[in-house]
């Protein structure tokens, strides 16, 4: 059965649970944006009302010759809502500093998109398939 929408009740019919199942819109949006615990994992960082897509920033950072892996994540910020942060794994023997990565990115991307904080890690967390687990990447504690 092809899913159909009943505009009078705002239900999706047969979309996920099988033919004839009714799923309210609120549950549908929950399935698309996160989970029932209230935690959401999205691939967009909202910085001061502007959308920053981590993949776009990662693609710029990957062009740096010393970068092997990168994961861009949103970091909570009182004034902007979220700030852009990046965990970077450098090639062996590289002496590039986080400040140099920030400047490199700043020259190649819009002013609201470059990472405000970059930290170097030996390697990024990966799942069994080798994909970087962005949800496991966290900025180091200040201090």
Give the pLDDT confidence of 7-19 residue by residue, as tens digits. Answer: 554 444 444 444 4
How far is Cα 67 from Cα 90, in angstroms, rounded to an integer? 5
Topology of domain 45-136, CATH: GMP Synthetase; Chain A, domain 3 (3.30.300)
Q: Rounding to the nearest 10 degrees, give the CA dihedral for residues 103, 104, 107, 109.
A: -110
Place of tokens 């009078």: 8
Q: What is the pLDDT of residue 139?
A: 87
Above 70 in pLDDT, residue 112?
Answer: yes
How far is Cα 41 from Cα 38, in angstroms, rounded to an integer? 10
Give the pLDDT confidence of 27-39 residue by residue, as tens digits. Answer: 333 334 444 445 5
Mean pLDDT rounded to a whole number for the chain: 80
Taking the domains of the chain in order of start, what are their residue ranges?
4-33, 45-136
Measured between its terminal Cα atoms, the distance across the chain in Å is: 57
């Amino acid at each position: 059965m092809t899913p159909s929408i009943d505009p009078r009740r705002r239900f999706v019919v047969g979309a996920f649970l099988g033919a004839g199942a009714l799923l309210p819109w609120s549950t549908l949006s929950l399935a698309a944006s996160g989970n029932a615990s209230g935690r959401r994992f999205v691939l967009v960082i909202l910085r001061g009302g502007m959308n920053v897509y981590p993949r776009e920033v990662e693609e710029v950072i990957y062009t740096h010759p010393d970068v092997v892996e990168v994961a861009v994540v949103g970091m909570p910020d009182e004034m902007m809502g979220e700030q852009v942060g990046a965990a970077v794994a450098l090639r062996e023997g590289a002496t590039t500093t986080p400040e140099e990565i920030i400047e490199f990115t700043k020259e190649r991307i819009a002013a609201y998109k470059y990472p405000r904080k970059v930290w170097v890690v030996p390697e990024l967390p990966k799942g069994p398939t080798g994909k970087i687990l962005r949800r496991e990447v966290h900025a180091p504690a200040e201090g």
